[in-house]
């Protein structure tokens, strides 16, 4: 074949050469530097370059960073405290922020709330009084808190300039608690539960997957069976069963850790499968054989030669596992078997929106659900982008 | 072929033992036991029970025996006599309570699975053969959104939409006048009117996922030489696509039928609680909240057993449909 293409003209070869000749000259200078850069770039730089092209994944990354920061600084961003009850402000609809009043720029403000009663049903009706404006000012004083648990302060990002008025961006619930505040505090619990649950399942999955993939044979067969056993149990009933067995009287923090652990008990199988598959693929690589021939210990081969080659895959798999954990936590809490009030998580918040009556009365109670959808989507996009970027044979 | 089927069925046995053991452990997990609960119930109704009587009862029910002995007694009663124990909360035999609800759960799960396939396969094929077309993008977006929306959220949103814009109550399986009525044509039509909501809720997420899988499988197959050969022989596109690559692209579907079942059961539980359906979900939830553990454990056991059977069936189906697996 090579001889033929040397002596006779190979149309494909010619076409390739021609196209290269056609494209090369004008781009030559730029091409070499770019090529040179990608030859010397470290694997992580290459992954980052590939990831950066994924617009949706980049947007998701920024969105998630934004979410985690909002959760971290929830007490600063939110104008109130999550448990502050206001009996005169129950089921207040969300307030729209306006900038112009009567065609004049006013800075951000909301219209004041007018409270009246339905003469027939005696239900409280709220209306926005479009003549009275409540300006929103920034860095106002509010309830005291410790910023990051360290700095005691009273400053909140925003709030009503007039202390007697309230700014409820997402409305209030049946006890008059500010939903925006609760959403931010709930983000702390829900998002961190996702991360901690994945951390648990990551440790279990990595350990067991590595053992199965590295040793193979009987050990692998046994572990494969075990994983099949676990996956043949329907997830939610098992989670429910385990979660229901936790005593209600325990410390909420402890329950929280146990719930994430229960989520991880099932979640690890997916990670273990990814790790095992990669180990199988890598085990027969020449460079692993070379390391073995050079006398490297098993521990060294696994940690220095095999794990670095699969980190990117593991990161992608972990990212894709986080939304599963978040959905698991919310589903359990939503059913009343996971976290319970007074702990605030998105699942706990959605408990208020469980029946038709409250949804029809106060549809804004569904907003934690919208938040869940966005966060889960963002994690999925991010994971997809990472997976594509981590694949060296991808486009 | 026969040996493969026998082999799969034999492998299912340890799995079944494992899931039944897990279910039993769940029954045992909460503090206290059957007698504690029973005595509390009796005391509540005014009867006087001494410590001694309590201990005697424990002895009689064999609650002091080791866990494995108790497990053996529990599982052999189920296997030999179909006796699942007694529900304290309802004061009924568990076996009288579960079969109706299980039937409905199975019906809804099966229907939504069929629904998923009917929708996902043609769309997946379309998306692959018309890659990067307008509708391909639409379906891709739909696929991602379907992955992101949890079942209970979808159920809540549908409920709200139904209430706010169509002024109808989409919860439950029957209208009020048919709830206790005997089966009739009117009741059947009424059932169909309510049934679509849980089926859409359950099918939505899995449809989205399966469209993605089908599209990826088809794209892998469409580039292969045998497809080109088929085109070269002058078949129409429809014949080529549906007769060859689709059949191969379906394999992963068949092998995941078994995995789809636990997901459907899980989804059914949450959707049923929200939509107030008379399926296993709400009763299981109630049983768990009341720590009515025999009832809860039986549900978990039966749902798991169905899953294991589903997995075995899908393995066998896969062997039937794919000679490469059958011959290996």
pLDDT higher than 80, residue B322: no
Exposed e or buried b for every residue in B110-132, given b needs 16+ CB within 10 A?
ebbbebbbebbbebbbbbbbeee
| CA angle A274–A277–A281, rounded 5-degree value | 140
Query: Collapsing DSSP states into helix, strand and coil, what is residue A250?
Result: coil
How many whole angstroms separate alpha carbon A385 and alpha carbon A377? 12
Domains of chain B: 103-323 (1.10.3720.10)
What is the ipTM score, two decimals?
Answer: 0.74
Quickly state the pLDDT bin for B176 (edges 50, 70, 90): low
pTM: 0.77
Which of B164, B267, B291 is facing A244, going by the closest CB pair? B291
Partners of B301 on chain A (C-beta within 8 Å) are: none
Nearest to A232 by CA among B108, B99, B260: B260
Q: How many CA atoms lie within 13 A of A167 on its CB side?
A: 28
Residue B227 has which token pair?
């497809």
Query: pLDDT tens digits for A59-95?
Result: 888 998 998 888 888 888 877 777 777 777 777 777 7
Cβ-based contacts of B296 with chain A (< 8 Å) = 241, 244
Distance in Å, alpha carbon of B26 to nearest chain A alpha carbon: 6
Structure tokens at A356: 């038709």
How many Å lie between the alpha carbon of B148 and the closest alpha carbon of chain A?
5
pLDDT digits (tens, 9 = 90+) for B97-154: 777 778 888 888 888 888 888 888 888 888 888 877 888 888 888 887 887 788 788 8
Q: Do A236 and B266 touch (CB under 8 A)?
A: yes
Which of B29, B152, B266 is the closest to A237 by Cβ?
B266
Size of interface A-B (CB pairs under 8 A): 136
pLDDT score of A38:
63
Rounded CA-CA distance B191/B209 in Å is: 28
Q: Which residues in chain B touch residue A233, judged by CB atoms under 8 angstroms apart? A: 19, 22, 262, 300, 304, 307
Contact residues, chain A, for B169 at CB < 8 Å: 356
Cβ distance B307 to A233 less than 8 Å, yes or no, reads yes
> How much is the pLDDT for A30?
47
Query: Among partner residues A331, A336, A353, which is closest to B150 by beta-carbon distance?
Result: A331
More confident position, A43 or B272? B272
- All residues of chain B having their beta carbon less than 8 Å from the beta carbon of residue A377 are 144-145, 147-148
Task: Name beta bridge partners: A104.
Answer: A101
Nearest C-alpha in A relative to B141: A377
Inter-chain touch B300–A336, beta carbons under 8 Å:
no
- Out of A235, A237, A380, the one facing B148 most closely (by C-beta) is A380
Contact A245, A337 (CB under 8 A): no
Tokens 């104008």 label which residue? A79
For the stretch A214-234, pLDDT in tens is 777 788 888 887 887 777 677
The CA–CA distances, whole Å, from B325 to A218, B4, B139, B319 equal 22, 10, 32, 5
């Amino acid at each position: 074949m090579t001889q033929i293409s040397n002596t006779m003209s190979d149309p494909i070869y010619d076409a390739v050469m021609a196209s290269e000749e056609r494209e090369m000259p004008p781009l030559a200078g730029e091409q070499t530097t770019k090529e040179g850069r990608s030859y010397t770039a470290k694997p992580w730089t290459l992954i980052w370059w590939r990831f950066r092209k994924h617009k949706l994944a980049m947007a998701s990354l920024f969105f998630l960073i934004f979410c985690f920061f909002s959760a971290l600084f929830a007490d600063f961003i939110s104008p109130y405290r999550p448990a502050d009850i206001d009996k005169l402000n129950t089921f207040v609809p969300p307030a729209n922020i306006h900038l112009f009043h009567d065609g004049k720029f006013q800075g951000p403000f909301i219209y004041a709330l007018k409270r009246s009663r339905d003469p027939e049903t005696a239900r409280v009706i709220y209306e926005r009084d479009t003549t009275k404006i409540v300006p929103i000012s920034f860095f106002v004083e509010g309830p005291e808190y410790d910023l990051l648990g360290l700095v005691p302060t009273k400053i909140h990002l925003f709030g009503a300039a007039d202390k007697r008025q309230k700014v409820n961006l997402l409305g209030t619930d049946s006890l008059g608690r500010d939903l925006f505040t609760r959403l931010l505090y709930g983000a702390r619990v829900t998002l961190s539960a996702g991360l901690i649950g994945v951390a648990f399942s990551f440790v279990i999955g990595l350990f067991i997957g590595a053992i199965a993939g590295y040793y193979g044979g009987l050990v692998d067969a046994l572990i494969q069976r075990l994983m099949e056993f676990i996956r043949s149990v329907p997830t939610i009933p098992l989670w429910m069963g385990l979660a229901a067995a936790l005593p209600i009287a325990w410390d909420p923090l402890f329950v929280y850790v146990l719930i994430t652990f229960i989520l991880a008990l099932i979640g690890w199988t997916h990670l273990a499968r990814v790790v095992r598959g990669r180990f199988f693929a890598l085990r027969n690589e020449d460079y692993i054989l070379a390391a073995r021939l050079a006398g490297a210990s098993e521990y060294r081969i696994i940690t220095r030669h095999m794990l670095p080659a699969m980190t990117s895959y593991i990161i992608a798999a972990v990212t894709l596992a986080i939304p599963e954990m978040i959905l698991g936590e919310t589903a359990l809490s939503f059913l009343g078997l996971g976290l319970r009030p007074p702990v605030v998580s998105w699942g706990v918040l959605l408990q208020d929106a469980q029946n038709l009556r409250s949804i029809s009365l106060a549809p804004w109670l569904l907003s934690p659900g919208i938040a869940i959808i966005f966060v889960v989507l963002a994690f999925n996009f991010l994971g997809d982008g990472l997976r594509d970027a981590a694949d060296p044979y991808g486009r | 072929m026969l040996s493969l089927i026998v082999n799969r069925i034999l492998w299912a046995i340890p799995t079944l033992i494992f899931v039944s053991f897990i279910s039993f452990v769940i029954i045992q997990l909460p503090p206290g036991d059957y007698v504690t609960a029973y005595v509390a119930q009796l005391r509540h109704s005014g009867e006087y029970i001494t410590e001694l009587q309590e201990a005697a009862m424990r002895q009689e029910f064999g609650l002091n025996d080791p866990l494995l002995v108790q497990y053996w007694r529990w599982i052999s009663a189920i296997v030999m006599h179909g006796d699942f124990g007694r529900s304290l909360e309802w004061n009924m035999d568990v076996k009288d309570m579960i079969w109706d609800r299980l039937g409905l759960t199975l019906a809804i799960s099966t229907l939504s699975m069929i629904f998923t396939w009917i929708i996902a396969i043609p769309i997946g094929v379309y998306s692959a053969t018309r890659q990067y077309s307008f509708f391909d993008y639409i379906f891709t977006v739909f696929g991602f959104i379907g992955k992101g929306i949890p079942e209970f959220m979808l159920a809540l949103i549908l409920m709200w939409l139904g209430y706010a814009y169509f002024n109808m109550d989409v919860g439950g399986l029957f209208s009020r006048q048919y709830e206790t009525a005997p089966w009739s044509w009117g009741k059947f039509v009424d059932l169909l009117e309510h049934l679509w909501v849980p089926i859409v809720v359950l099918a939505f997420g899995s449809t989205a996922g399966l469209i993605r899988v089908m599209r990826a499988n088809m794209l892998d197959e469409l580039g292969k030489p045998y497809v080109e050969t088929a085109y070269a022989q002058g078949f129409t596109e429809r014949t080529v696509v549906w007769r060859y690559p689709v059949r191969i692209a379906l394999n992963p579907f068949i092998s995941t039928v078994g995995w789809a079942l636990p997901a459907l059961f899980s989804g059914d539980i949450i959707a049923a609680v929200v939509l107030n359906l008379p399926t296993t979900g709400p009763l299981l939830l109630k049983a768990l909240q009341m720590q009515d553990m025999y009832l809860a454990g039986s549900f978990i056991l039966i749902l798991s057993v169905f899953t294991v059977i589903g997995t075995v069936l899908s393995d066998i189906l896969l062997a039937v449909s794919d000679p490469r697996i059958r011959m290996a």
